[in-house]
Amino acid sequence: MQAWNIEFRHLSVGYGRHEILHDINAVIPSGAITVILGGSGCGKSTLLRHIIGLSRPLGGQILLGDRDIFSLPSKDFRQVRRHMGVLFQDGALLGALTLVQNVVLPLSEHLRLPNALLREAGLRVLRMVGLENFADYYPNQLSGGMRKRVGLARAIVAEPRILLCDEPTSGLDPVTAARMDALLLSMRQRYTDMTIVVVSHDLASLHAIAEHVLVLGEGRALFAGSPQALESSQNPYLRQFLQRQAGFGEASLETPANPEITSALKRWLDS
Ligand SMILES: Nc1ncnc2c1ncn2[C@@H]1O[C@H](COP(=O)(O)OP(=O)(O)O)[C@@H](O)[C@H]1O
Ligand SMILES: [Mg+2]
């Protein structure tokens, strides 16, 4: 399998004229797990949408394996897109299809293969995520963690060079989240050249799986490097994020309540 780095060059992304991320310059290396870390709303999913070509950047470039994806003819882009597997935030499974039908979608949409072969391919990846015995269940019969594992199975069924996971542990309890991390590490072992990108705000997950980290915040890339270098960074925003200090800027508990409201409330509570 050919390895593909992902490179951002002076990349700016946003919606309409509203810029969300400005002048991102970073390389996401192949053959490693990179965690893109940042608080809610900082633009992580937006960045992912651009990597898979769902949105066009406001400026700059994204290179996948040395090719600028937004200057490719659409036919060549579709060719590149085939090598990307995506685990969406909620798993994005189709409710009317069984798990095995869901996981083989990337194959059944494009390849003419006999059903028995498709099923075999589906069972194989369901086995990799520990859900082979649930192959004929429907998504609504599963827990959130199981649905995410099915989403992961579908993301890898076409053996992608780039695997993108949007918040694979969000909404999961700590034990289930740790299992998801273990599963991502096993994918890393199984597919040694794969470029694995995990978007997350989960610090436990960061410590468990990251070999490389890109931190987004304040509309920029604040850090790119190893988890060890991140730990020793003195950047105040990063320190605050890593130590989970609350910091809502303008938020204040100090504004006194209007005494009229306080006394009306007291009368009602005491009545
Ligand atoms: N389709 C959209 N149109 C306009 N603004 C959007 C859209 N999707 C997201 N945003 C805005 O972009 C910012 C980043 O969102 P998002 O990438 O989803 O953040 P994250 O995934 O880091 O939580 C947010 O301020 C959000 O409100
Ligand atoms: Mg998101």
Nearest CA residue ID for atom 4, ligand 1: 15
With a 6 Å cutoff on the Cβ, whether 232 touches ligand 1 is no
Instruction: Count the residues in the chain.
Output: 271
Rounded to whole angstroms, the Cα distance separating 84 from 176 reads 25
Give the residue, out of 20, 90, 202, 214, with the most ligand 1 atoms within 8 A of its beta carbon, to mutate for a pocket test: 20
pLDDT of 250 over the 60 cut:
no
3-state secondary structure of 37: strand
User: Is position 135 within any domain?
Assistant: no
Residues whose CB falls within 8 Å of the CB of residue 205, separated by 6 or more in sequence, listed in order? 35, 168, 169, 177, 180, 181, 198
**Based on the number of CB atoms within 10 Å of its own CB, is 229 exposed (0-12), middle (13-18) or buried (19 or more)?**
exposed
CA–CA distance, 98 with 172 (Å, rounded to integer): 22
- Structure-token pair, residue 70: 């937004």
Cα–Cα distance measured from residue 251 to residue 34, given in angstroms and rounded to the nearest whole number = 33
Q: Kindly give, in sequence order, each residue whose CB lies less than 8 Å from that of residue 154, ignoring residues fewer than 6 positions away.
A: 85, 87, 93, 102, 103, 104, 105, 106, 125
What gap in Å lies between CA 184 and CA 165, rounded to an integer? 10
With a CB cutoff of 8 Å and minimum separation 6, the contacts of 201 are 37, 38, 39, 40, 44, 167, 170
Q: Which pLDDT score is estimated for 58?
A: 96
Mean pLDDT value of segment 189-195 = 91
CA distance 33 to 198: 7
Q: For residue 215, which ligand has an atom nearest its CA?
A: 1
Residue 91: inside a domain? no
On the question of pLDDT at 26 being above 90, the answer is yes
What domain range is 170 assigned to? 6-83+160-270
- Closest-lying ligand 1 atom to the alpha carbon of residue 44: 22
Q: Domain count for the chain, please give it.
A: 1
Please compute Rg for the chain using Cα positions: 22
User: The dihedral of CA 240, 204, 173, 218: what is its sign?
Assistant: positive
Q: How far does the centroid of ligand 1 lie from the alpha carbon of residue 143, in Å?
A: 26
Tens digit of pLDDT for each residue in 101-126? 999 999 988 888 899 999 999 999 99
Residue range 29-42: mean pLDDT, rounded: 92
Dihedrals phi, psi of 18, to nearest 5 degrees: -85, 110
Q: If you average pLDDT over residues 97-104, what whole number do you get?
A: 96
Q: Give the pLDDT band of residue 98 (cuts 50, 70, 90).
A: very high
Among the residue ranges 9-13, 37-41, 89-93, 241-245, the one predicted with the least confidence is: 241-245
Q: Are the C-beta atoms of 10 and 60 separated by less than 8 Å?
A: yes
Q: What is the mean pLDDT of residues 83-112?
A: 91
Mean pLDDT of 58-77: 92
| Average pLDDT of span 155-176 | 91
Q: Cα(66)–Cα(233) distance, rounded to whole angstroms?
A: 30
Whether 213 maps to a domain, the answer reads yes
The pLDDT tens digits of the residues spanning 143-153 come to 888 999 999 99
pLDDT of residue 109: 86
Residue 109, domain member (yes or no): no
| Residue 141 belongs to some domain of the structure | no
- Which is higher by pLDDT, 76 or 252? 76
Model confidence at 17: pLDDT above 70? yes
Nearest ligand to the C-alpha atom of residue 41: 1
Q: Say what the pLDDT of residue 34 is.
A: 97
In a domain, 110, yes or no: no
- Mean of pLDDT over the chain: 90
pLDDT of residue 241: 81
- State residue 243's pLDDT score: 80
In a domain, 152, yes or no: no
Look at residue 127 and tell me if it is in a domain.
no
Provide the CATH number for the domain around residue 234.
3.40.50.300
Starting from the CA of residue 38, give the closest ligand.
1
Tell me the C-alpha distance between 163 and 237, whole Å. Answer: 29
Per-residue pLDDT of 127-137, as tens digits, reads 988 999 999 99
45 lines ligand 1 (CB under 6 A): yes
* DSSP code of residue 92: -
Check pLDDT > 90 for residue 93.
yes
pLDDT at 4 over 90: no
What is the whole-number distance in angstroms between the Cα of residue 46 and the centre of ligand 1? 6
